[in-house]
A and B are shown apart, each in its own frame.
Chain A
Amino acid sequence: MTLAPPSIAAVEKYSPAYESLVTASAAAPEWLKAVRQQAWATYSELGIPVKRRGNELWKYTNLQPLAAEDFRHGLTGEVSVDQLKAVGPWDDAWNTLVVVDGKFNTELSNLHGTNGLVAGSLADAISTGTGDIESQIATLAGREEYAFTALNTAFLDDGAYVAIERDTVLEEPVQVVFVTSSLSESRVNYPRLLVDAGENSSVVLIETHLNLAEESQFSTPVVEMFAHAGSSIRHYRVQMENEKSFHLGTTRIRQLDDSNFTSTSFAVGASIARNDIHTLLDAPGASCTLHGLYMTNGEQQQDQEISTTHAKPHCTSDQFYKGILSGKSHAVFSGKVVVMRDAQKSDATQKDLNLLLSRGVEIDAKPSLEIYADDVTAAHGATAGHVDRETLYYLESRGVDQEAAKAILVRGFAEEILNEFEPKSLHDFVEKVTDERIPALLAESDTLGTA
């Protein structure tokens, strides 16, 4: 694939901050300096991908507004626990790690010292060389030709680190909250999370992105997860950025023998948001499930860039996303399953369903399969449609008033994914957000229940 030429301005905007990071962190480990330097070189070549023609990855996404804006580096504001509880999911029983404007915050974090869990600041983990951090970080994300992981990796400094020791089964979820503070400036931050799930360990991990600011913010979260043999990661991703912000998130998972990775995403925020997730099924028996719900309104754009590589035999994967679009919003689903030559007995499914509520919405779906092995079962499907008159009439004829009937139909479409959020406090939260959101979606809907 030919990549877009770099947008020089976009590189220059970030270079003073990069230079000062290099100067300020002279004491950083050499390997980290090398990783940053390589990533910066990659980003300098790529820039912000504003050219869409011939650029398969950004064909449907216009990043000009992002390239045009200026963001400040290194500003960290104040956040209180009450603020977090008010805008995001929270449960005191959970081990919660809080990262404010890209920096780990010990005061806000709520850690219970649970046996078998190593959780804390990524900066500390790097400086003390915790676990396998040196051989893990930036190996799944940050060395490929991808502008936003490169940018994040060039500024790799802090974030959260979560390791689950082998044979540890954690009863309560671990939540990592990435929050942008309410400072008035437009800022860029580089949240980062590394998860190392030891052999036969099990964890429920909630990754939450919140935004307390009113101005436009730019966030490039990068999450890397290592699922060792027999481990199980139940992952939830909640994205609630403000509607002026840019959220270009990357999640990379490498799975070993018989490990299981199950993820459900809930994406409602940001002006332009991308959830780019890739699972590498790198040993026999690994399985992954990638599900999600996205809701867009106004001029929002939500991209789901979902891919799985079956590198070894006897693995299964399942991608299933649902979208609800209203106003003049735009959503992109780009699913990809690659089954490599040796990956016999692979089983892969891929599905994207969209409910279109108004004129002016746009959905671009590209569910693709790339298969190089013959003993494989793979299927995919995609649909787009609206709620027709008959369906609405059915409910109305049973005494439900029109507004309530519409809400029931939209809610019913979302229900399947909402029910996947199992921890009670989390389930209550996504339900509440959905219920508050539906009237706004309906307010901008003009086709629900027509012909």
Chain B
Amino acid sequence: MTNQNTISRESDLSGGEYKWGFVTDVETDLAPKGLSEDIVRLISSKKGEPEWLLEWRLKAYRYWVGLNEADAEPDWAMIEYPKIDYQDIYYYAAPKGTNEAPKSLDDVDPKMLETFEKLGIPLQERAALAGVAVDAVFDSISVATTMEKQLGELGIIFCSFSEAVKNHPDLIKKYLGSVVPYTDNFFAALNAAVFSDGSFVYIPPGVRCPIELMTYFRINTEGSGQFERTLIVADKGAYVSYLEGCTAPFRKTSQLHAATVELIALDDAEIKYSTIQNWFPGTPDGEGGVYNFVTKRGRADRNSKISWTQVETGSAITWKYPSVILRGDNSVGEFFSVALVNNHQQADTGTKMIHIGKNTKSTIVSKGISAGKGNNTYRGQVQIMPGAENAVNHTQCDSLLVGDECGAHTVPYIEVRNPTARLEHEASTSKVSDDQLFYLMARGLSEEEAHHMIITGWSRDVIKELPFEFALEASQLLKVSLEGAVG
């Protein structure tokens, strides 16, 4: 039968279905390539940072240099990539004229607004209608944050990281590096030394943030790395739902993205963190694409809850393990993930749930889809420490294979040091069965539509955890990302 082309191919970029691959032509303020103490000092001074923060960056830099000399770049993940030349990367790229944060949207370069408009990110009035507050990060700089004022009335702080350093230094000093210290790992050390911008969120005690907060990350400059840092603090009894989205232009050279996210849920608080990661995945032949090395971790105090939801369809390489340290009694950690690889993409992603407090509970649902020549690995760790009485974990990780040149791997680590814990781990790997396809195709769906329907249904346990608008986008993304893999 003929294959109906039911999926819109809006992109006119050479050979790619990646429709976010355009480049914005803005003048960029670039620091020289390469990494040194001088670059760290330059980044810090560009941002007008206080002395203590510069010191912290320098300590991180020196620690990273030590790791780099000892060749300690992590190599345990099931990913392969040419050695990264850390001296061949721009560590600071900012659109010209943004040294001062824009006072209002009118001050923002129209080209930038156009970029985010093209990406479907509501920065203007639409933002208010959509009911989300957005912080837009372009290369190293936060270009606009919407609805800051309205949120301010509730005492909620939602601003770029640089502004937070200026306006709320006490909070930053207290929490920065408290969950992911710069000594945590190679990429966290690198990030701590050169992080450019990112978002800061603080929800005061007992406040339920009424709208979704969103940060949109965009890499534009060729050869630049992006190193953003996000810090979210939900004070006692507070609630916040935070969304993160990312894209990058179509480039045949690879770009490095090494971000750090720290979440702090104090007693009785709840943080819901959703990600749609759609960095440029490289060409179908495996050229270019973003190397995504990310450290994300949350600290859950008494009775609090941290929930990570991620849809990972982009990046040439994904290395990412959003984790929760369940240190307070009765705290809850959740991880819901859909990771899709196609063409030459490689993903090694999963989570860590560290149970320290009593009656702590964690749930892990991971869905991996492998297509083309892609390799997808679930790597997770569930650790029950001796004091974690009656801890409960349930893990489910399923893999789906589309095509016979891809790989799907599952590497769970289960470490139990308290006998009262209950752990269950289940996993399965299979392909979309011919019977299922036949059933749908017999009812008039094309093969591609049938695949999409099955995959969306199979991922539903995760997609349904996303806020409504994100869920629609996620489903579309799965569809577009699978193009060319079926039929």
Contacts and interface: CB of A to CB of B under 8 A. Distances in A.
Interface of A: 1-2, 54, 56, 325, 341, 344, 354, 356-386, 447, 450-451
Contacts of B407: 370-372
Q: B interface, by DSSP: helix, strand, loop or mixed?
A: strand
Contact of A356 (B413, B415, B419, B425): B419
A362 B429 contact: no
A379 B423 contact: no
B420 A374 contact: no
A376 B401 contact: yes
B416 A384 contact: yes
A441 B75 CA distance: 41
Contacts of A366: 411-414
A189 B421 CA distance: 40
A129 B203 CA distance: 79
A381 B426 contact: yes
B417 A381 contact: no
B409 interface: yes
B168 interface: no
B431 interface: yes
Interface string B146-183: 00000000000000000000000000000000000000
Nearest to B410: A369
A406 B276 CA distance: 50
Nearest to B432: A374
A451 B420 CA distance: 8
Interface in B393-429: 399, 401-429
Given A371-B407, A374-B403, A374-B406, A362 B417 contact: yes
B456 interface: no
B393 to A, nearest CB: 9
Nearest to A350: B427
A56 B76 contact: yes
Given A56-B76, A378-B430, A371 B414 contact: no
Contacts of A450: 420
Contacts of B408: 369, 371
Contact of B421 (A367, A368, A375, A384): A384
B148 to A, nearest CB: 45
B420 A447 contact: yes
Given A362-B416, A370-B78, A371-B408, 20 more contacts: A54-B76, A56-B76, A341-B405, A356-B416, A359-B418, A365-B413, A365-B425, A366-B413, A366-B414, A367-B412, A368-B410, A368-B411, A369-B409, A372-B407, A377-B429, A378-B430, A379-B427, A379-B429, A381-B425, A385-B423
B390 A451 contact: yes
A384 B431 contact: no
A447 B426 CA distance: 25
B386 interface: yes
B421 A383 contact: no
A375 B431 contact: yes
B134 to A, nearest CB: 40
Contacts of A385: 421-423
Contact of B413 (A364, A370, A372): A364
B348 to A, nearest CB: 12
Contacts of B429: 369, 371, 376-379
Contacts of B430: 376-378
A367 B420 contact: no
A371 B401 contact: yes
B419 A368 contact: no
A435 to B, nearest CB: 23
A171 to B, nearest CB: 40
Nearest to B389: A451
Contact of A381 (B78, B418, B427): B427
5 contacts: A54-B76, A361-B417, A366-B413, A371-B399, A381-B427
Contacts, number: 122
Interface centre among B402, B412, B414 (most CB of A within 10 A): B414
B76 A359 contact: no
B345 to A, nearest CB: 15
Contacts of A447: 419-420
Contacts of A56: 76
A406 to B, nearest CB: 14
Contacts of B404: 341, 344, 373-375
Nearest to B405: A341
Contacts of A371: 399, 401, 407-409, 429
B412 A382 contact: yes
Contact of B414 (A2, A359, A365, A377): A365
Contacts of B406: 372, 374
A374 B399 CA distance: 10
Nearest to A361: B419
A379 B397 CA distance: 10
What 6 pairs between A and B have smallest CB-CB spacing? Answer: A356-B419, A374-B401, A378-B429, A365-B414, A382-B425, A369-B410
Given A363-B416, A364-B414, A366-B413, A379 B401 contact: no
B432 to A, nearest CB: 9
A374 B430 CA distance: 7
Contacts of A341: 404-405
A374 B431 contact: yes
B426 A379 contact: yes
B422 A378 contact: no
A422 to B, nearest CB: 30
Given A372-B407, A377-B430, A378-B428, A384 B422 contact: yes
A384 B414 contact: yes
Nearest to A368: B411
B402 A374 contact: yes
Contacts of B426: 379-381
Contacts of A357: 419
A378 B428 CA distance: 5
Contact of B415 (A358, A362, A383): A362
Contact of B425 (A376, A377, A378, A383): A383
A361 B419 CA distance: 7
Interface centre among A357, A375, A384 (most CB of B within 10 A): A384
A376 B430 CA distance: 6
Interface in B69-103: 75-76, 78
A360 B418 CA distance: 7
Contacts of A384: 414, 416, 421-423
B150 to A, nearest CB: 48
A364 B420 contact: no
A356 B399 CA distance: 30
A380 B410 contact: yes
Contacts of A370: 78, 407, 409
A172 B369 CA distance: 49
A369 B431 contact: no
A85 to B, nearest CB: 37
Nearest to B74: A54
A21 B408 CA distance: 47
A210 B174 CA distance: 60
Contacts of A2: 75
Contacts of A54: 76
Contacts of A382: 412, 414, 423-425
Contacts of A362: 415-417
Contacts of B427: 367, 369, 379-381
B434 to A, nearest CB: 9
Contacts of A367: 410, 412, 425, 427
A372 B427 CA distance: 16
Contacts of B421: 356, 384-385
Nearest to A366: B413
A59 B75 CA distance: 15
Nearest to B419: A356
